[in-house]
Structures are given as C-alpha cells and as structure tokens.
A and B are shown apart, each in its own frame.
Chain A
C-alpha cells in the first residue's frame, strides 16, 4: 500500500485511518476488560455498510431512497429462510440475499425512477412499506414477532462467526471490500456518468447518455450491497424481524448519511459509525439521551452544512475540550 500513498485522496486517507482504528478495537477492548465494545463496533460496521450502499444512490446519484431499509430486511430474511432450509453458508446466503434484493430493486427502481425529487422519496417509501407489511403478515416466519436463528452462519463449513472476534473481523473485511468496490466504482466511467446525472440530467442527455440505465444500475447495486449489511445484521443479532425494514430505519439511514456528509463514501461510513456509537454511548448516560442526540443533529444541520468529514474533526475538538 505504501507505494500508493503519495496520491491518496484525503478522504481515502481518513478511511484507511478508520479501518486501522477499527482493526485494533478487539485487542484493545480485550486489554481494557471491555470485550463488549467489540459487539458494539460490529453493529456500527454493519450500519456503515448499509450507509455506504445508500451513499451510492443518494450521494452520487441524487436519488433519495426512503425505503432502503427494505434491503436490510431482504438480507436478514435470506439468512432466516436459508438457515431454516439447512443452508448455513454465509457466501450462499449473501448471494441469495443479493439476488432477492436485485430482483425487487429492478422492478421497483424502474417504476420509481419515473419520478423526481420528493416524489421519488415517497414512491421508494411506498415500496419499502409494502415489503415491510408483507413480512409482518408472513406468519410462517413469525410475522411481526420475528424469528430467532438457531446459530450464526458458517463460512465454507467453518464456524468463523461463532466468536465475537470472528464476527467482527468478517464484518470488517466486508466493510473494507464494500468500501473499496464502491470507491473504484465511483471513480470509473460509470461513476462519473452517475455523478453527471446528479449535477444535470439534461446535460448528460445532451452529450448522449440516457441517465435511466445508469441510475437503475446504481439503484440495484446499492440494494445488493445493503442486503449484505442485512445478512450481517441477522448474524449479529441472531434474530430477524420486520422491524429492520420499517420506515424509521430508512429514515435513520438517511440521517446517518447526512450527518457524516454525502457523496464521499468516507463521510457515509463515518456518519454511520458516529450515529450508532453516539446512540450506544449517550444511552448509557441518560434515559433522555434523545434530547441530546436530537440537539446534536439540529446543530450540525444548522452550523455545519454538508456535514462531511470536517464535522468529524470539529466534533472531536468540542468533545475533547469539554
């Protein structure tokens, strides 16, 4: 990696720092006698994968999906359904989850992309809600009660996810892979066309690109990647429920993204890590932690437009100085 360093973009540098910090969480947590931090960090990374996937369409494609949590659910239910059928392999489950998510995304994405702006937000919400209510009524899998998994998935027959550390590092590997893939994708020709449609769909059309296939492809890719987060969420909680797909979750994912800063991948990842971390941390201090969390969101929105990674630095200063 060292030979690449001179031309690393700042956001990539920051991402590498984040990955490095994450990688040393388990030994540090063990050393300070707080092994539970590993579990918290795993959850943070799961939502970071989900936020990254949303950033592709929201940040780069300007498609604000308010139904993205549905794909989290598709991933989780793929684990539940396959493990019930005796298929416990993580890779097969991820493939199945991605296939299911892709199918749903192709159909609903094609319809949704007829609309723009707030109408797009609401039509994606509509499809998300349909998926949510379908699983609420799905009594074979516990309906609204959800279903507990018997065990975590295996990787090529090895029970790699059984230990807290194993689950952590597999999730971290997936996070790095998703980040790297998206990073390359956004720098590719495809990514530039997508960004172009965000800036001006009309101009892209003028120079000969139909935005629709690009936008739909991005929408499907984002759905597939979010399904991976769903697979890991199911494994982390050892439980699957329609609650993963509710519109609250979709809204929280948007909030994570905007908090971190959209359209830079690193911001999305940082936003998810910070949001989940703040929730976990603040909840320990006070029953009324939402008051503080809400105020932070309002203040960031008011005084740090675009959030981004500068926000992270400022937040660190404020917290460090207190």
Chain B
C-alpha cells in the first residue's frame, strides 16, 4: 500500500510537470503582458499536429521535435503581428473575444487540414518500455523523460528570468510597463519575443505529450482550463508559482481520484463512498482552486492586487 502511495505521488507529480510545460508560456504572456490568451490551448494543439505531420514525413522523433520549435515560433510571430499586437492596450474582454475567435478559426483549419480523427505519434525506441519499481509495478521510461524535460524547462526559465538582461526587463515589465518603455527599451519587441516564446513553449508541450496523449481537435480545449487553474493558483505571472501549482494540481487530482474513495469508506457505507468519491473526484481541482483563492485571493505566489 505504501509503495502504491509513493507511485501515485510520482504519477501526480509527473502529470503536474506536464501541466507546467503548457502553463509556463501562458503565465508569462498573462503576467508580463496582462493579456488573456484563450488561444493558448490551440497553440498546444498546433504543436501536437505539427509533430504528427513531421513524424509522418521524416519518421524521426528527434528531428520532428526539433522542427516543431521553429514552426510554432513562426505561428506565434504571425499571430502576434496580425492580431495580438493590436490588443495589448485593450480590455481583457476584447482580448477574450479575439482569442476565442482565433480558437474557432484555428480549430476549424486543423480540422480541414488533418481531419477530425485522432492522430498518432510513435514513441522513440530508446524511450519506450518501462522500468520496474516495486513488485509488479513498473514506470514508463518516457514519463521519466517528460519529468526530466519539465524540470529542465523550469530551470531554464528560472535562469533566463533571474539571471539575464531579458529576464530583468521581463520582471520590470511585469511590475511596471510604462517604466520599462520610459527607460528606452522597445517594449513592443520585448512583448513579441515573450509571446512567440510562449507559443513555442505551448507547441513544444503539445509535441512532447503527443506519444502519451492522442492528438485530436479537442486536445487544446481539455488542457486549457486546467492550465488556467494552474496559473491562477500559482499567481498570475509567476513561473515559480506555476511550477508549484502544477505539481499541486497534479498530485491532488491523482491522489484524490485514487485514494479519495478509500478515505471516504472510513466514514461512509461502501456504495455511498464510491458514489461520493466519483462525484467529488472531478471537482477536486476546482475545490482546491476555490480554497486557495479564498485564503489567498491573488494565488500562492501572486502579487497583491489593488482593490
């Protein structure tokens, strides 16, 4: 039982890291540019589809993964030039309207190009298979790799933000946008860079998870809300917050689903416990978010919001 608990903890953490990969780009765009981007999930989907297409032509996992980066970066740049750039100074609601429209357009385009059937991305040979953990329980090699990649991205982002000039500008820009402009930095170029990097991170996440999850037109939709939950719990704009919140969400979701009914059985009839368990399981993440916001209205690592 204890082994199983540890394994589930690991599973939860791994799911969290997967969420972090998607959330990192969103929290950057959101926090630094104060821009609500509903289309972030679609960029994640585009990453998955580009990966599937590249795999179809090249047949090589690593080459395809390497090609996803410039392609999604380019998609991000084009969208920034055509749409987002004009919306930075507008209200959140205008941003929601425009990016919601983009979701419809991009999803339909994906459907026209690739059809609506789920697509497959094969796992690279060297990362397939599983390693024994305890007893009959094993752990997939690929997921260990995902954990490794997620941690590297987290460390990389921390380094860029905390230790480089760009990072300094980002932090300053998030705190006070007009101040950075006044200091002579081209804030528009900075924003373009952040946005394109965010799009690339989302696309990269879509490509990384494609061997585990199916590539289908709904994949962006289903991850988007969870991603927003993560960045809000963490505090908007905080990459550190997104990291811890993603782990928290992953672990609470997995452990709650697995052990919630067992705990409930201590205080209820088995049948009622099972019923209550499956009613509550999907709500857990939202209960967690509501609770966090109740105690800390700006998330775990968010700046205090002015009334």
Which A residues lie within 8 Å of B278 (CB)?
A: 137
Which of these binds chain B: A86-94, A128-136, A312-320? A128-136
Best-surrounded residue of B106, B293, B298 (most CB of chain A within 10 A): B293
Which A residues lie within 8 Å of B66 (CB)?
A: none
Within 8 A of B (CB), among A252-299: 254-255, 257-259, 262, 288, 290-291, 293-299
Given contacts A114-B293, A258-B93, A297-B97, contact A129 B108 (CB under 8 A): no
Given contacts A247-B225, A255-B96, contact A294 B101 (CB under 8 A): yes
A contact residues, range: 35 or more
Residue tally, chain B, CB below 8 Å to A: 48
Contact B101 A295 (CB under 8 A): yes
- Other-chain contact of A115, B92, B100, B111, B293 (Cβ < 8 Å): B293
Contact A130 B97 (CB under 8 A): no
Which B residues lie within 8 Å of A302 (CB)?
A: 83, 86-87, 98
Best-surrounded residue of B36, B100, B278 (most CB of chain A within 10 A): B100
Measured in the bound complex, the distance between the Cα atoms of B100 and A131 in whole Å is: 24
Which B residues lie within 8 Å of A181 (CB)?
A: none
Measured in the bound complex, the distance between the Cα atoms of B283 and A258 in whole Å is: 29
Which B residues lie within 8 Å of A64 (CB)?
A: 92-93
Contact B105 A295 (CB under 8 A): yes
Measured in the bound complex, the distance between the Cα atoms of B288 and A52 in whole Å is: 31
Given contacts A290-B107, A297-B101, A301-B101, contact A117 B305 (CB under 8 A): yes
Beyond A123-B289, A133-B282, A300-B97, 6 additional pairs, beta carbon < 8 A: A114-B293, A118-B232, A118-B236, A126-B289, A291-B104, A298-B102
Query: What are 27 A-B residue pairs whose CB atoms fall within 8 Å in the complex?
Result: A111-B294, A116-B297, A117-B92, A117-B305, A122-B289, A125-B228, A130-B283, A133-B279, A137-B279, A202-B307, A251-B38, A251-B96, A258-B97, A262-B93, A288-B111, A290-B108, A291-B104, A294-B100, A294-B101, A295-B101, A297-B98, A297-B100, A298-B83, A298-B102, A300-B97, A301-B87, A306-B94
Q: Which residues of B contact A (CB under 8 A)?
A: 30, 36, 38, 83, 86-87, 90, 92-98, 100-109, 111-112, 225, 228-229, 232, 236, 275, 278-279, 282-283, 286-287, 289-290, 293-294, 297-299, 302, 305, 307
